């Protein structure tokens, strides 16, 4: 294993001070590079950023060193950093009269819903901050690291999971498959103690650097597979962006779980119940197989069945087997290999899918909660539309609304009061100029950004939900207006009301409001 920088707390504190003094922060870099340069970097394009960092200020030097991975003259580095300490500790290495970074150190705005963002840095392998192993070229390796052990920085999946996590002040959190430590970094702000685990010891070394450089001392690391390193310990929050890729061979530890098909994600779901405190959440990103002749909903229901956990599974996307193979061939840099090698690897993926009768692969989010109900709520659905991140607060509310619905029969539902959720609008759909719309849609511009068709009663009902009347009283008033029989309206309303509550268009007035 290539030696990584030493995680000495005092030395890390002086490095952190230098980074802050130079304004090497997410905001500082955005100001320097501008939105165009910043966005180009996210696409692995460095030219705009190189043009913006020609002046030699400490911030420009740090961006060149750690973001763009360019050699910089020793005196410039000395003006920006405790350079001799950084050389001795292994952050930098000499290259003639220049110095170079040995690792990627990327400013990160550590945002947690409900708290101010705080300056943090994520440390990962050179060249891997954006994209997969393909980012460093087919034949190359980062600083002599075996490609299979590369530790990636923050990617799209990392930020998705960070936004989904339920962020309550809690005692203990677990980041399973911590990699660079980015999920642990978020959790360290609202959990008293965070445990970061990973199969790859290099990943844990990076996690320790990320957390210590960002100033956290409430974290620990433990090496091993899945839940094995934590024994029988329980947590209030488990987050995992696991190596979910369904691949024919285990080539990259950061993505290939090394188990057949989608077994790694299934194992995580099956193992969660034994590691959750009452009320605790386990949230993970996952891929699952769509197998010929099997309904994917049932496959996922089978993962959750018998765990005793409430579950909300959202499928965001489905790719066919060829798209999927190409995605991960490109991620691994295989598209840069000779054509015959590329085609042989492509065939390996398709052979494995064919043998397992896999027709497509679902991508999605799984939230599990140890709600303690005798009959847990399990919702498995497809929602490919844009959502509002961070979704964490909405996910917590969704579970609270499920509890409410489970605890209220139709009579109790009608006896309760409701509030129209924030930013719900009504849209009328029909030919221009028509007197009556063909249908009415309620659209919620927050959270999952749901839309649902409603009838006149549903629209009228939602519109007057201000908590002053019970649902039954509102329905009686609507019945009078429409000259309908109130008891018939009361009989047919609960199903629609349940849907409006479940999807968050109206919220029970007794629940804490966001």
Ligand X SMILES: C[S@@+](CC[C@H](N)C(=O)[O-])C[C@H]1O[C@@H](n2cnc3c(N)ncnc32)[C@H](O)[C@@H]1O
Question: Which residues of the shown chain bind ligand X in the complex (CB under 6 A)?
Answer: 154, 158, 161, 176-180, 182-183, 197-200, 203, 225-226, 241-243, 253-255, 257
Distance of closest approach, residue 128 Cβ to ligand X, in angstroms: 11
Q: Smaller CB distance to ligand X: residue 254 or 303?
A: 254
Q: Which CB, 182 or 440, lies closer to ligand X?
A: 182
CA 247 to chain centre: 21
- CB-CB contact of 136 with 202 (8 Å): no
DSSP string for residues in 291-358 = ETTS-HHHHHHHHHTTS--EEEEEEEEEEEHHHHHHHHHHHTTGGGS-HHHHHHHHHHHHHHHHHTTE
**Residue 196 DSSP SS3:** strand
User: Please, which residue, 264 or 414, has the CB nearer to ligand X?
Assistant: 264
In the three-class reduction of DSSP (H, G, I as helix; E, B as strand; rest coil), residue 140 is classed as coil
Q: Measured from the CB of residue 323, what is the shortest distance to ligand X in angstroms? A: 19
The least CB distance from residue 175 to ligand X, in Å, is: 6
Burial of 386 from C-beta contacts in 10 A (0-12 / 13-18 / 19+): exposed
User: Is residue 390 reached through a cis peptide bond, with omega within 30 degrees of 0 on the bond before it?
Assistant: yes
Task: For 191-226, give one letter per residue: b (16+ CB within 10 A) or e.
Answer: beebbbbbbbebbbbbbbbbbbbbbbeebebbeebb
Minimum distance from residue 131 beta carbon to ligand X (Å): 13
Here the tokens at position 251 are 């080539």
Taking phi over 0 as left and psi of -120 to 50 as alpha, with beta for the rest, 406 belongs to: alpha
What 3-state class would DSSP assign to 127? coil
Q: What is residue 5's DSSP assignment? A: P
Please say which residue, 205 or 370, places its beta carbon nearer to ligand X. 205
Pick the closer one to ligand X by CB: 25 or 200. Answer: 200
Q: How far is the CB of 367 from ligand X (least distance, A)?
A: 16
Instruction: Name the minimum Å distance from CB 235 to ligand X.
Output: 15
- With tokens 């993505």, the residue in question is 255
Q: How far apart are CA 156 and CA 12, in angstroms?
A: 27
Per-residue DSSP letter, 211 = H
Instruction: Return the closest-CA partner of residue 55 out of 28, 38, 76, 81.
Output: 76
If one counts every other C-beta atom within 10 angstroms of the C-beta of residue 133, the result is 25
- CB-nearer residue toward ligand X: 132 or 508: 132
Closer residue to ligand X, CB minimum distance, 142 or 421 = 142
> Residue 419 in contact with residue 435, Cβ under 8 Å?
no
Nearer to ligand X, 81 or 199 (CB): 199
State the Cα–Cα distance between residues 86 and 386, nearest whole angstrom. 43
C-beta closer to ligand X: residue 53 or 283: 283
State the nearest-atom distance from the C-beta of 241 to ligand X, in Å: 3
Smallest distance, Å, CB 177 to ligand X? 3
Residue nearest to ligand X (CB): 179
CB nearer to ligand X: give 4 or 465: 4
Q: Give me the least distance between CB of 32 and ligand X, in Å please.
A: 25
Least distance between ligand X and beta carbon 314 (Å): 18
3-state secondary structure labels for all residues of 149-187: HCCCCCCHHHHHHHHHCCCCCEEEEEEECCCCCHHHHHH
């Amino acid at each position: 294993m290539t030696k990584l920088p030493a995680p000495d707390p005092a030395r890390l504190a002086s490095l952190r001070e230098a980074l802050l003094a130079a304004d090497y922060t997410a905001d500082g870099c955005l100001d320097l590079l501008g939105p165009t340069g910043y966005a180009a970097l996210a696409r692995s394009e460095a030219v705009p950023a190189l043009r913006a960092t020609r002046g030699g200020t400490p911030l420009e030097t740090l961006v060149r060193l750690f973001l763009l991975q360019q050699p910089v003259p020793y005196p410039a580095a000395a003006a920006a950093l405790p350079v001799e300490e950084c050389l001795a500790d292994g952050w930098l290495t000499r290259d003639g009269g220049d110095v170079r970074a040995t690792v990627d150190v990327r400013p990160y705005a550590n945002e947690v819903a409900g708290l101010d963002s705080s300056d943090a840095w994520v440390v990962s392998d050179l060249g891997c901050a954006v994209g997969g192993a393909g980012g460093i070229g087919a034949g190359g390796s980062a600083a002599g690291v075996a490609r299979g052990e590369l530790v990636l920085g923050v990617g799209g999946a990392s930020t998705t999971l960070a936004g989904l996590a339920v962020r309550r002040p809690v005692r203990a959190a677990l980041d399973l498959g911590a990699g660079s430590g980015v999920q642990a970094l978020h959790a360290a702000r609202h959990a008293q103690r965070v445990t970061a685990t990973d199969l790859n010891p290099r990943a844990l070394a990076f996690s320790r650097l990320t957390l210590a450089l960002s100033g956290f001392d409430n974290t620990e690391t433990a090496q091993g597979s899945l839940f094995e390193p934590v024994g029988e310990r329980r947590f209030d929050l488990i987050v995992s962006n696991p190596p979910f890729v369904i691949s024919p061979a285990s080539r990259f530890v950061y993505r290939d779980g090394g188990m057949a098909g989608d077994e790694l994600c299934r194992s995580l779901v099956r193992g969660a119940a034994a590691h959750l405190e009452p009320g605790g959440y386990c949230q993970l990103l996952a891929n699952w197989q769509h197998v010929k002749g099997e309904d994917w909903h049932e496959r996922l229901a089978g993962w959750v069945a018998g765990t005793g956990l409430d579950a909300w599974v959202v499928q965001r996307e489905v790719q066919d087997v060829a798209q999927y193979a190409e995605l991960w061939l490109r991620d691994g840099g295989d598209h840069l290999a000779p054509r015959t090698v590329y085609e042989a690897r492509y065939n390996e993926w398709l052979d494995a899918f064919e043998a397992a009768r896999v027709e497509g692969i679902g991508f999605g989010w799984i939230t599990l909660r140890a709600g303690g109900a005798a009959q847990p709520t399990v919702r498995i659905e497809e929602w490919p539309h844009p959502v509002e991140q961070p979704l964490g607060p909405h996910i917590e509310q969704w579970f609270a609304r499920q509890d409410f619905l489970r605890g209220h029969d139709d009579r109790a539902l009608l006896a309760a009061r409701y509030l129209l959720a924030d930013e719900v609008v009504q849209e009328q759909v029909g030919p221009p100029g028509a007197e009556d719309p063909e249908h009415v849609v309620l659209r919620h511009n927050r959270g999952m950004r749901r839309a649902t068709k409603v009838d006149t009663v549903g629209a009228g009902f939602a519109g007057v939900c201000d908590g002053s009347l019970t649902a039954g009283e509102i329905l009686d008033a609507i019945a009078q207006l429409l000259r309908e029989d109130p008891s018939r309206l009361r009989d047919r309303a609960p199903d629609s009301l349940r849907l409006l509550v479940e999807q968050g268009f109206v919220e029970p007035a007794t629940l804490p409001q966001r």
